[in-house]
Structure 1
Amino acid sequence: MNFQQCDVDGFRIYAGALDTPHGGYIAAVEVHRVNPPRSAPSMADHAERIFSNDLLSGGHRFAEPELALRHALQIGRQVVRLADAAAD
């Protein structure tokens, strides 16, 4: 298993490339809001999971873990953009 995380605009993206029994890697991602909206001051130390999927793209197998990680990070960034747009 290979994992990577990155912070984007108040969100933390956790990306994973998970080994499959038949070879290759599947992409997985979780996105957490780490900076709560201003209307929720009681959540100052709380990270809220807003998206999770451990079988991205229908379980497509990637030949290299880097490809699966890149795909997971792209999906995570799309989730962040959608969450930001919904908040506006």
Structure 2
Amino acid sequence: MKAFFGERIIEGSPVREDGVMILFLVEKLKDLQAYFEKEETYVDVILQSLPPSFDQFIVNYNMNGLEKSLHELINILVQYEEMIEKSAPLVLVGDA
């Protein structure tokens, strides 16, 4: 439980890797029979673990009342991360 609730996705680290770790922790909790009845709890913890660059995603997720499974949530987080990376402004550094 401590590892699950303490999981934080660091800004710039791949969401896919952190998502896999979170899914592993959820499965481990289920194996230990120390799990939550409602999947919404897991979703809430995952959303709270996201870095600030995902704030808009969290707002949209909550405002639109989306209900995704954990695997679906991780997949759309990965897609959102890819979208952020593609739309990030490029900074060119040249000789001064």
Name the TM-score, length of structure 2 as normaliser. 0.39
Which structure shows the higher helix fraction? 2
When you count strand as a share of all residues, which structure comes out higher?
1
Q: Which has the higher contact order (CA 8 A, sep 6+)?
A: 2
For the pair shown, the structure with the greater C-alpha radius of gyration is: 2
